[in-house]
Amino acid sequence: MFSYYLNAFSKYATFSGRATKKEFWSFFAIHLLITILFSVISNTIAAVNVLLLIYFIASFLPSLSITTRRLHDIGKSGWYQLVILIPILGAFILLFWSLRGSVDELNSATERENIQNNESSTLSENIETIEDTSDAIDIVEEITSSEENDKEDTDSEEEEEGFLSFLSDD
C-alpha cells in the first residue's frame, strides 16, 4: 500500500495514463493518515503547522496527477476534477467518480450483457427460423404430394381412357 503512495510521488508530474482504484485510494488513505498525524501533533507543537503546510505544498501536485490518472481510468478528462469547485456537491461527484470501476471493467461487463442478450435473441431468432423452415418444409411436402396425387390421377385417367379405347376398337 505504501508503494502506491511512493509511486504517486514518483509520478508527480505524470498527467497521462491511468490509476487504478487501489492505487488512488491507497495514496489518499496514507495522505489522510499523514494529515491527521500532523494535525494532532500541531495541537501540541506550533512548529508542526509549518511542516503540515510544507507537506500540503509537496503533495499538491501528486494529488492532482493521481486524480487526473484516476479520471482517465474511468474514461473522463482530468479537467473534470475542477468539479470540486462546486460547493459540497462537487466533492460528492468526485467521490462517486473515483469509486467507479475502470472503463475496461465497465466495457467488459456491458459487452458480456450484450453478448448474453444477443445470444438469447439469436436463439429466439433461430427458433423462429426453424419454425419457419419447418413450415416451409410442410408446404413443400403438401405441394409435392398434391402434384404426385395429380400425376397419379392423370395417369389413372389415361389408363382408363386407354382401356376404354381398347374396348371400343373391337
| pLDDT tens sequence across 99-139 | 888 877 655 555 555 555 555 555 555 555 556 666 667 77
Can you give the residue ranges of every domain in the chain?
2-101
Determine the distance from the C-alpha atom of residue 12 to the mean position of all C-alpha atoms in its chain, rounded to a whole number.
31
Residue 27 has pLDDT above 80, yes or no: yes
The stretch 50-69 carries a mean pLDDT of 90
Residue 156 has pLDDT above 60, yes or no: no
pLDDT at 40: 84
For cell 495522505, the residue is 31
Report the residue count for the chain: 170
| Residue spans of alpha helices (H) in 1-100 | 2-10, 21-44, 48-73, 89-99
Enter the C-alpha cell of residue 79: 479537467
| pLDDT tens sequence across 8-26 | 888 878 888 888 889 999 9
Q: What is the DSSP string of 101-128?
A: PPHHHHHHHHHHHHHHHHHHHHHHHHHH
**Alpha-carbon span 31 to 35, nearest angstrom:** 6
**Alpha-carbon span 72 to 105, nearest angstrom:** 13
